[in-house]
Amino acid sequence: MSYDYIKDGAEIYRQSFATIAAEADLDKVPEGLRAVAVRMIHASGQVDLLDDLAWSEGLAPAATTALQQGAPILCDSRMVASGIIRSRLPRDNHILCLLGDPRLYDLAARLGTTKTAAAVELWRPHLAGAVVAIGNAPTALFHLLEIVEEDPELAPAAVLGIPVGFIGAAESKRALADNTLGLDYLVVHGRRGGSAVTVAAVNALCGTDGRTG
């Protein structure tokens, strides 16, 4: 059986971003975040992602400045960490995911939480001024907020809080968006999110590709 489909990668790319430009109301998004929004839509295949996208006014400049100054990127999952394009990082920024740390089992039991949230506890030495990318675990986002509330000097420069799921995802993103800690943030409200969308946002903020469709 033969199927009629586009086989040219460049043409697929072109048509994909032309579709986003035609169907997404990008006027909703400030100019400094449009490339980020486009990449997130492309990663999800959902132009209505814009309806749930929310951000603080300082998110884009805070994140890009931190990255250009060499801030680390702290990731809640290996999927997020592995999707970041290292060769395009502005300062060869360190990418940190601690899910393989042998301390996690005991630490999670002691804290009464998930291993992913316990990994956030281990971020403390790296957290101040970092860029945080959370794409999977609401417990990680909640615990990040708890840590910064406890010690405001550990505040990261920017938080991409985009966990996916049915339990706690919407609530954790609402807590981030409503934070009174001065955290600059990017969220996708509701249950949607995940590694691919989060990585797309990180890569766009790193300037991995100037084309926005």
pLDDT digits (tens, 9 = 90+) for 99-117: 999 999 999 999 999 999 9
Residue 126 bears catalytic tag:
no
Please tell me the CATH superfamily of domain 9-205, with its number.
Cobalamin biosynthesis CobH/CbiC, precorrin-8X methylmutase (3.40.50.10230)
Report the candidate in 113, 44, 47, 112 with the shortest Cα–Cα distance to residue 76: 113
pTM to 2 decimal places:
0.94
Place of tokens 């409503």: 178
For the cut 60, the answer to whether the pLDDT of residue 210 exceeds it is no
Q: How would residue 207 be classed by pLDDT, with cut points 50, 70 and 90? A: confident
The residue extents of the domains of the chain are 9-205
Interatomic CA distance for residues 147 and 120, integer angstroms: 9
Q: How would residue 213 be classed by pLDDT, with cut points 50, 70 and 90? A: very low
Q: Coil, strand, or helix at residue 29? A: coil
For the cut 80, the answer to whether the pLDDT of residue 98 exceeds it is yes
Catalytic residue among 42, 94, 126, 143: 42
For the cut 90, the answer to whether the pLDDT of residue 91 exceeds it is yes
Report the candidate in 104, 80, 107 with the shortest Cα–Cα distance to residue 164: 80
